[in-house]
Structure 1
């Protein structure tokens, strides 16, 4: 997908536009080492990054070797590479990982303010550590809700309501007309939906300087209770992604009519337009407890390793990949959205279906800034599944979640109590 677009997109003139940036970084284009720069990235970003490299190589004489890592193994591989002194020059990190890799000294601070100028403020904030920029936002994927216009219309709705009570009322209306189907495509091993609900409900999730769990507060209880009710009332299937392996088909057939998801779903729908025609679906921001609010998403940024021997060239590559031209090309290839606000001024992103994404990027949910957050999210989802499946009560599951999170944060708690971190 997209290979034929690359030749048209990367003209010689655009490639030569990289020369001033590279010179400003202090790197003469034709004096580069013979060894290619190494870049590691995950998911679609890793698969399609090679298509962005010909222009960089044409302008600088620097080849780039891109390694696409499997997402499930990438975190451990990066940590192992850092410990062994084998980090790539440039690496992609999911924004939730930036704090951890900055804390252990694996990534370098951003060298030029120009690299992070004109970013959506909320997206940029998620990559800052102790007031310093350690990553350049690159590929942004906030969640919105995809909804079946025809199924909602049959239930008397032009678009989904913006609050939780309205969402439930709409779901009940759809379920009465389609008793054998579900409404919400929210699988039990997808954590983003529940984390969003916690943020929208005002749950802090951690307390005592982020050293203990805070999942027994009224806000956290409200989010868990609402989330679980969507399953126990029959509005969402009690299923894992291994059980519903083709969510596009589930949405297209009406098995589920509302799907909280990110922008890559737009590309899935475009590829399978014969299955789900464009006039049958639309997008809207996700409902919150009392209206629209912050939403989680899986966004990624680019960093330069502290182990690179070619920092100037590495930062030049980051500059190239996060330029407006590169970001717009990526949006066409994989669907993820530009982090630079200026990129949204052109006709490419004027499609009304993208408006909810743009609005949501101005109000992202802020995750706790602790390196244990990835593991904590897993514990949150496991606790929710136990509640949904009635293995534990709400009170028992949240008390157990607090205990497990406290254990995960034990090392951080000791460092805070010793005054070694704030």
Structure 2
């Protein structure tokens, strides 16, 4: 085993027979791969063992997350997609629908994936991506601040959590309990999921926000701001959440597994914080996660080599390497048997991954989430009541889904 943790035999054994035969003929031209966020920055570390075993070099381009969706669409239209690229799971349906990605050619590539994670990458009963890293949210919390008011961990239901939060606010009136920034939609989308809200209806062609569940979710979310438990702030106003968490500016932070890496790198003492599943109306429940998968371009001229690279990057060894490097969690069930996955702070993530809440499989979902957040901000800032905001949200979502609705009604889209 070399310094990276791989052996040549392990890398070769991770490649499908078709890919191995093709790679044996590999030339000097590199495969091209695009990825976003930490995955893009750290992917080059996974390439040397693949290249050493196959003779195929890989050129990785790290894309800025905020511009990646547009760049991928432009590349699709211009026939300039790389051989392999990362998609957030919520984008897979869109890129499969427009014919940009190839279906997964072998069942073994998606064997042993958490079922709920895999379901989000299936379109029309076919797998179009191989889940790569999983990022469900949990509550990061300050153990010392909660212990000072008699709590070992945040309660799991909304009423008890609210009572705890009010008690902490009385003790620390100049600070906040929750970090729920007004331009971060994930926390609110998760609250809707925990409340049992179904955001779309009529075969995912219309908004479905004027329901008791959605009203309950919006009311709970808005109350956190109305009672001074969360700051009415945007991410531009809290530019360093890690430092704010370390300083006790807030005590509970719904966030994903990359925060594990951030806290470790910044030297926040591990005895001062821990993790717990996010609370729901009657206890923790299903949540969606910002998971990412690897896809192969439908127009690649080197499909065997591309799928071989995907097999390597999504192998258990690679997933565990990534977990150590950036925090994101393995999508393969067997990877969780590794000793490194037995840390207590990972247990809530492992539990949450067994209770997924799949996002609606419509290409407009990214835009719909933005509209959800805009509606919530108007409520928090007192510009609309909850009934007004939800009615307005339904109308906006209906307009976003107009084209889909017409295709479904015409029988051209399932």
Question: Given the alignment, which residue of 319, 323, 329 partners 2:315?
Answer: 323
Question: Does structure 2 conserve the Cα–Cα contact (< 8 Å) formed by 1:163 and 1:289?
Answer: yes
Aligned residue in 2 for 1:30: 24
Match of 2:222 among 218, 228, 231: 228
Matched, 1:408 2:400: yes
Is 1:388–2:384 an aligned residue pair?
Answer: no
Q: How far is 1:22 from its partner? A: 4.3
- What CA distance in whole angstroms lies between the structure 2 residues aligned with 1:8 and 1:93? 26
Query: When the two structures are superposed, what TM-score results if normalisation uses the length of structure 2?
Result: 0.98
1:246 is aligned to 2:246: no
Choose which of 195, 199, 207 in structure 1 pairs with 2:193: 199
Correspondence 1:15 to 2:7: no
Structure 1 residue 29: Cα displacement: 3.0
Structure 1 runs (4+) deviating above 4 angstroms are none
Q: 2:84 aligns with which of 69, 81, 90?
A: 90
Alpha carbons of 1:227 and 1:256: their partners in 2 closer, same or farther (altered >3 Å)? same
- The Cα offsets for residues 300-320 of structure 1, whole Å up to 9 and x where unpaired, read as 000111010110110000000
The offset of 1:228, in angstroms, is: 0.6
Tell me which residue corresponds to 1:354: 346
1:286 corresponds, among 273, 278, 301, to 278
Aligned pairs for 1:52-91 within 5 A: 52-91=46-85
User: C-alpha separation between the residues in 1 aligned to 2:29 and 2:36?
Assistant: 22
Alpha-carbon shift at residue 14 of structure 1 (Å):
3.1
Name the CA distance, whole Å, in 2 between partners of 1:149 and 1:401: 38
Q: Kindly state the Cα deviation for residue 161 of structure 1 after the two structures are TM-superposed.
A: 0.5
Q: CA deviation at 1:8?
A: 3.8
In the alignment, the residues of structure 1 paired with residue 137 and residue 296 of structure 2 have an alpha-carbon distance, to the nearest angstrom, of 27
Which residue does the alignment assign to 2:363? 371
> 107, 132, 153: which is aligned to 2:101?
107
Structure 1 contact 22–313 (Cα < 8 Å) conserved:
no
- Aligned residue for 2:214, secondary structure, equals helix
1:187 maps to 2:171: no
Give distance in 2, aligned partners of 1:226 and 1:176: 19
The CA deviation at 1:83 is 0.6
Does the 8 Å CA contact 1:95/1:126 hold for their aligned counterparts? yes
Distance 1:369 1:296 in 2: 12
Provide the residue aligned with 1:261 in structure 2.
Answer: 255
Q: Is the 8 A contact 1:149 1:281 kept in 2?
A: yes
Measured after TM superposition, the shift of residue 96 of structure 1 is 0.2
C-alpha distance in 2, partners of 1:259/1:135?
30
Q: Equivalent residue of 2:377, what SS?
A: helix
RMSD of the alignment, in Å? 1.3
Aligned with 1:130 (options 113, 124, 127): 124
Q: Offset at 1:12?
A: 3.7
1:336 is aligned to 328
Of 191, 203, 210, which aligns to 2:204?
210
SS in 1 for 2:351: helix
1:54-84 CA distance string (max 9 Å, x none): 0110111101111111101110111111111
Q: By how many angstroms is 1:35 displaced?
A: 1.6
Q: May I ask how many residue pairs the two structures share in their alignment?
A: 414
Q: C-alpha offsets along residues 385-419 of structure 1, whole Å, 9 cap, x if unaligned?
A: 00000011111111111111111001001101111
TM-score, length-scaled by structure 1? 0.96
Question: What CA distance in whole angstroms lies between the structure 2 residues aligned with 1:125 and 1:232?
Answer: 37
Tell me the SS of whatever aligns to 1:171: helix
Contact 2:20 2:308 in 1 (8 A): no
- The match for 2:269 among 273, 277, 294 is 277
Report if the CA contact (8 A) 2:22-2:304 is conserved: no
Checking the alignment, whether the CA contact within 8 Å between 1:23 and 1:29 is kept in structure 2 is: no
Which residue matches 2:43? 49
* CA–CA separation in structure 2 for the residues paired with 1:28 and 1:413: 44
Gaps of 5+ in 1: none
1:6 to partner: Cα distance:
8.2
Contact 2:313–2:319 (CA under 8 A) maintained in structure 1 = yes
Unaligned runs of 5+ in 2: none
- 8 Å CA contact retained: 1:50, 1:66: yes
Distance of 1:397 and 1:311 partners within structure 2: 48
1:115-148 superposed Cα distances (whole Å, 9 cap, x missing partner): 1001111011111111111000001011000111
